[in-house]
């Protein structure tokens, strides 16, 4: 019975995606309650001294100085005693980069989502692209720029030669479109690199693929119907991701069946290329000739009732609560 199982829901954290994590955790919490599991909320950024009520966990509070010792103290403490499985609703650094996964494995605690290596690879966009190339997953051309590099005429010449214009400039290890810029002119690249460098020591400058924005959700190796994202801005930025009404979504996406089938095949290939497990979401740009370019793998995609993965699951006949149940059962049975 579910009432015999205790789930720890990890939320918040100390990354730039702290508030996004709380949104996912709220969705997961609602489903866990409906499914009848016992639960405990844990925010590792607080260490061993946790909020006393559920509501306090969701109060807006930014952590500008992450304390890694708090994570270590929390996971090694009594907080995780008697936990059957951890539902990881953390996002960003230390949550989906393999760090918290490593700590949980040291404690011998089961957790949702992919393991240490897939999470660490997927959080590093360059490493992910290298794996894509090895497994023949088409991905936009790119160049890595380090924070310490001077964005001078020589570098701009090289970028224009390799990736062309327009181009996307983004932190190498961030999510939620944080620090992302689309540069249509050469003169915009330097400021875009500076913006991305606020969040990462490595910056990815990537070929921009004109066309369509799509994503494919995956559960247990099964690809859900592809979803098209139609942002109100020029691209799918943070505002369009998390502000109601700033994007429209169409699932299944209205493309020929063979195009959708190819997207699903490429999504599974990308998912397998970094050895993901349980669930994930794969993001694509589809060019005007309907060629899919894989952008990245999300090992811990958003899990609110209106997030993209649940939308794709719903289009395949799986409710949000059922999706959460499958994810929990995957971990319990692993």
Residues designated as active site: 17, 176, 242, 281, 283, 296, 298, 302
d(CA 119, CA 297): 9
Ramachandran sector of residue 57 (left: φ over 0; alpha: ψ -120 to 50; beta: rest)? alpha
- Sequence-distant (6+) residues with CB within 8 A of 78 are 48
> In sequence order, what are the residues at sequence separation of 6 or more whose Cβ sits closer than 8 angstroms to the Cβ of residue 5?
37, 38, 84, 85, 332
Helices (H), 58-134: 68-75, 99-107, 116-123, 125-134
| Number of neighbours of residue 319 by Cβ within 10 angstroms | 13
3 state SS of 105? helix
Spatial contact of 70 and 94, defined as CB atoms under 8 Å apart? no
Q: Tell me how far CA of residue 181 lies from CA of 136, 159, 248, in angstroms.
A: 27, 15, 21
Helix axes 320-332, 18-35, angle to 10 degrees: 90
């Amino acid at each position: 019975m579910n009432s015999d199982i205790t789930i720890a829901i990890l939320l918040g954290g100390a990354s730039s995606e702290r508030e996004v994590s709380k949104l996912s955790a709220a969705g997961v919490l609602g489903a866990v309650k409906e499914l009848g599991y016992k639960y405990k909320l844990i925010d590792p950024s607080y260490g061993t001294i946790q909020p006393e009520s559920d509501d306090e966990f969701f109060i807006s509070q930014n952590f500008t100085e992450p304390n890694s010792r708090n994570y270590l103290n929390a996971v090694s403490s009594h907080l995780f005693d008697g936990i059957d499985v951890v539902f990881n609703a953390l996002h960003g650094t230390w949550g989906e980069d393999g760090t918290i996964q490593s700590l949980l494995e040291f404690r011998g605690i089961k957790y949702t989502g992919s393991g240490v290596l897939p999470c660490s690879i997927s959080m590093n966009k360059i490493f992910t692209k290298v794996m894509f190339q090895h497994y023949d997953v088409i991905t936009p051309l790119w160049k890595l720029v380090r924070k310490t590099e001077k964005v001078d005429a020589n570098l701009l010449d090289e970028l224009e030669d390799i990736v062309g214009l327009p181009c996307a400039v983004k932190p190498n290890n961030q999510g939620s479109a944080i620090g992302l810029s689309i540069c249509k002119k050469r003169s915009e690249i330097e400021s875009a690199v500076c913006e991305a460098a606020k969040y990462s020591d490595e910056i990815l400058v990537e070929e921009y693929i004109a066309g369509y924005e799509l994503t494919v959700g995956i559960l247990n190796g099964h690809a859900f119907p592809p979803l098209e994202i139609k942002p109100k801005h020029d691209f799918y930025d943070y505002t369009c991701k998390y502000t109601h009404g700033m994007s429209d979504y169409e699932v299944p996406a209205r493309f020929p069946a063979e195009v959708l089938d190819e997207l699903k095949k490429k999504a599974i290939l990308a998912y397998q290329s970094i050895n993901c497990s349980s669930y994930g979401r794969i993001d694509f740009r589809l060019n005007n000739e309907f060629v899919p370019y894989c952008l990245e793998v999300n090992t811990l995609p958003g899990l609110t009732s209106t997030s993209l993965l649940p939308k794709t699951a719903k289009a395949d006949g799986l409710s949000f609560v059922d999706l959460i149940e499958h994810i929990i059962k995957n971990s319990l049975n692993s």
